[in-house]
Amino acid sequence: MTAEEWTAVRLSLLIATTATIFSLPLGIAIAWLLARGRFWGKSVLDTLVHLPLIMPPVVTGYLLLLSFGRRGPIGSFLADEFGIVFSFRWTGAALACAVMGFPLMVRAIRLSIEAVDQRLEAAAGTLGANRLWVFATITLPLCLPGILAGAILAFAKSMGEFGATITFVSNIPGETQTLPTLIYALTQVPGGDAAAMRLTLVSIAISMLALLGSELLAKRIGARRQTA
């Protein structure tokens, strides 16, 4: 594989990992709110979270460009106050991936939180644990498999994200060129077929490894629960 191809693989892994890790805490919080919260505007929040799933990725990418771009209201604020720049940077690609994977992540975690027996949480309360402790020691461990599934889904989505990424941060080699955008670029040039095929195989391998890894982890969580 060429250096350019390796760079794209490395960047893809970096972007997907960053997107997953940074969206996980927020994903858990939103999932908990949707599963357990009773507040005005809950269905609005639910819809907002699911929006990237139903909108065309290009639209999501364009909205990100409008709001997080250099001239966008959020983008200019973050750049001026904190020096954080998203547009045409790999961090922007991670943001696009996080947004696109978010509905999948929240859905999986929300289902697992809803499956946690609330009578166990009440029992923990009578033993002196406040709501935060109950969440940390009962709810969170019991829905760990769901959190894992949500994280894997978000990671896989990020590895394959194309539309929003290319719209928001373009396809800059060494900065925002990921596996899918490089494969796309290669298919546009004559003689790029062999390289595109190589990267396709790499992409399949990474997806399968991620899936296998999550299965192993899920088994270990299950095993620990058996011996615990």
Residues of this chain that interact with other proteins (CB under 8 A) are 119-120, 122-130, 133, 137-138, 141-142, 225-228
Judged by CB, which is closer to other proteins: 38, or 119? 119
- Rounded Cα distance between 132 and 46, Å, is 23
* Closest separation in Å from C-beta 82 to other proteins: 38
Judged by CB, which is closer to other proteins: 122, or 204? 122
Assess contact for 135 and 33: CB atoms under 8 A: no
For 175-211, the DSSP string reads: TT--HHHHHHHHHHSTT-HHHHHHHHHHHHHHHHHHH
- Rounded Cα distance between 155 and 138, Å, is 26
* Closest separation in Å from C-beta 112 to other proteins: 13
Run of H or E residues at 13: helix 3-36
DSSP state, residue 116: S
* Closest separation in Å from C-beta 117 to other proteins: 8
**What tokens does 2 get?**
């060429």
Judged by CB, which is closer to other proteins: 74, or 120? 120
Judged by CB, which is closer to other proteins: 47, or 137? 137
* Closest separation in Å from C-beta 211 to other proteins: 24
